[in-house]
Amino acid sequence: MARTKDTGTNPSTAAIGKTMDDAMVAIERDDPRFKGVLPKDYARPALEKHTFSKRLNP
């Protein structure tokens, strides 16, 4: 199961979007109620990776 602590273990700002997308896929897999509901576009190029990473890893 995806856990929020898992997102904090990846300090690479370049990979943080992929880490979040993977977490959303895992949540949907583990709990079908979330299937098709969660966003999975955190790896998109337009997302400010540095700011996003800082919010997850204060």
Tell me what the pLDDT averaged over the chain comes to: 76
**Residue 44 dihedral angles phi and psi, to the nearest 5°:** -60, 145
- What was the pLDDT predicted at 25? 93
Locate 21 and state its tokens.
């997308």
pTM score of the predicted model: 0.66
- What was the pLDDT predicted at 13? 64
Question: What residues contact 40, with CB distance under 8 A and at least 6 apart?
Answer: 21, 24, 25
pLDDT per residue over 5-33, tens digit each?
555 555 566 677 888 889 899 999 999 99
